[in-house]
Amino acid sequence: MTEPAPTADLVVVANRLPVDRVVGDDGEPGWRRSPGGLVTALEPVMRRADGAWVGWPGQPDIEVEPFEFEGTHLVPVTLSADDVEKYYEGMSNDTFWPLYHDVIAEPRYRRVWWDAYVRVNRRFAEAAAAVAAQGGTVWVQDYQLQLVPQMIREARPDLTIGYFHHIPFPAYGLYSQLPWRRQVLEGLLGADVIGFQRVADAGNFARAVRRQFRYQTKATGITVPNPDGSTRRALAKAFPISIDARSYIELARREDVRARATEIRESLGNPKKILLGVDRLDYTKGIRHRMKAFGELLEDGRVSVEDVTLVQVASPSRERVEAYMQLRDEIELTVGRINGDFDTMDHTAIRYLHQAYPREEMVALFLAADVMLVTALRDGMNLVAKEYVASRIDNKGVLVLSEFAGAADELPSAVRINPHDIDGMKDAIMRAIEMPPAEQGRRMRALRKKVIESDVARWSRSFLDALEEARVGRLRDQEAGE
User: CB–CB of 106/98 below 8 Å?
Assistant: yes
Q: Quote the pLDDT of residue 2.
A: 46
* Distance in angstroms (rounded) separating the CA atoms of residues 438 and 194: 42
User: Of 353, 321, 349, nearest to 86 (Cα)?
Assistant: 321
Reported as type and span, the H/E element at residue 246 is: helix 245-253
* Distance in angstroms (rounded) separating the CA atoms of residues 221 and 232: 9
Give the neighbor-by-neighbor strand order of the sheet with 193-196: 67-69, 72-76, 52-56, 8-16, 132-141, 160-164, 193-196, 231-238, 221-225, 217-218
Q: Is 248 exposed, middle or buried (0-12, 13-18, 19+ CB in 10 A)?
A: buried
Q: For residue 19, list its beta bridge partners.
A: 33
User: CB–CB of 212/181 below 8 Å?
Assistant: yes
pLDDT tens by residue, the chain, 482 residues: 445 556 889 999 999 999 888 877 777 778 888 876 677 778 777 877 779 999 999 899 999 999 998 888 999 999 999 999 999 999 999 999 999 999 999 999 999 999 999 999 999 999 999 999 999 999 999 999 999 999 999 999 999 999 999 999 999 999 999 999 999 999 999 999 999 999 999 999 999 999 999 999 988 799 999 888 889 999 999 999 999 999 999 999 999 999 999 999 999 999 999 999 999 999 999 999 999 999 999 999 999 999 999 999 998 877 777 778 888 999 999 999 999 999 999 999 999 999 989 999 999 999 999 999 999 999 999 999 999 999 999 999 999 999 999 999 999 999 999 999 999 999 999 999 999 999 999 999 999 999 999 999 899 999 999 999 999 988 887 777 65
Angle at 21 between CA 280 and CA 16, to 5 degrees: 55
Determine how β-strand 72-76 pairs with β-strand 52-56.
parallel
Spell out the residues 6+ positions from residue 178 whose beta carbon is closer than 8 angstroms to its own: 95, 99, 109, 184
User: CB–CB of 213/185 below 8 Å?
Assistant: yes
Q: Quote the pLDDT of residue 194.
A: 98
- What does the buried/exposed string (b/e) look like for 30-45 if buried means 16 or more CB atoms within 10 Å of the residue's CB? ebeeeeebbbbbbbeb
Q: Quote the pLDDT of residue 5.
A: 53
Between the CA of residue 99 and those of 30, 177, 206, what are the distances in Å?
37, 9, 17
User: CB–CB of 289/377 below 8 Å?
Assistant: yes
Alpha helices, H only, 132-198? 148-155, 172-175, 181-188
